[in-house]
Each structure stands twice: as C-alpha cells, then as structure tokens.
Amino acid sequence: MPGVFDRLDKEIKDKQKEGGISPLDLAELSPAFRKIMRLMLRELQMSYPRLCEVVEAMPEKDRLTRAELDSALSSLTEQFWLIRIGENEKAIYKVNLKRKAGSTLASGIWSSLDAKLKGKPAKNEE
C-alpha cells in the first residue's frame, strides 16, 4: 500500500517528465542560468547569434564568456528549460513553458450561475 511520500515522489517525478518551467522555478537557478532565462523570457525565442549579441551588450560584471554561455545553454537544454532547434551558429532557442492547468469547475456551473442571475431555475434544478 503506497504511502503519502510514495505518492508525492511519484507526482514530483511525473512533473519532471513534463518539462517546462514555472516562475517559481527561476528562483532555484544559478545566477548564470537565471540571467539567460530572464533574457529568453523577454523574447521567448532567440537565435544563437542574437543571444551572443545580447550577452556581449550586458554590463561587464554581468557578462558571461562565450564558453559560459555555451555551457549554460547546453545545460538548460538538457534540463528541458530551453528547446534547441538546429545546431551551432544556426541554433534557435525557445523557452519551454509549462502548460496551464485546465479549469476544474463543473461543466454545468455556468448555466447554473446564468440561471440564478436571471432569476430562473437551472435545467438540473427543475
């Protein structure tokens, strides 16, 4: 009989398989990774040459070397934070955002609310 911790562990592993990020996940990143993800979240998609331009335009104290940038992009891609399309200089990087959860409201709630607002009984109340 699985316990609470087993279920939580399974849920965490399932979430990791989904990939993508949430805003809370950004706080857990290293400073270099966080810089790249902030850049990427502004654009959602950037080519490798454009990323290099933007990083080179950063203030010197915040700037990453090309080797650091390449390493960070590789790690973020392996961890499914970014999606890479293409290779090397022709690569395009996209942010891998998590899907939003669907509504958990019952399907008949809107008709019930509408009927109450109009002062009529809902179909399922008749």
Place of tokens 């950004």: 26
Q: Are 52 and 91 in contact (CB under 8 A)?
A: no
pLDDT digits (tens, 9 = 90+) for 49-67: 999 999 999 888 888 899 9
Cα separation values, 30 from 25, 33, 91, 105, Å: 11, 5, 23, 38
Q: Give the whole-number percent of the chain exceeding pLDDT 70.
A: 67
**Residues paired with residue 47 on neighbouring β-strands, in sequence order:** 92
Residue at 76: amino acid letter = L
- pLDDT over 50 at 100, yes or no: no
Task: Give the separation between CA 112 and CA 126, rounded to whole angstroms.
Answer: 11
Taking the domains of the chain in order of start, what are their residue ranges? 9-95
- Please state the pTM of the whole predicted model: 0.59
Q: Does domain 9-95 have CATH number 1.10.10?
A: yes
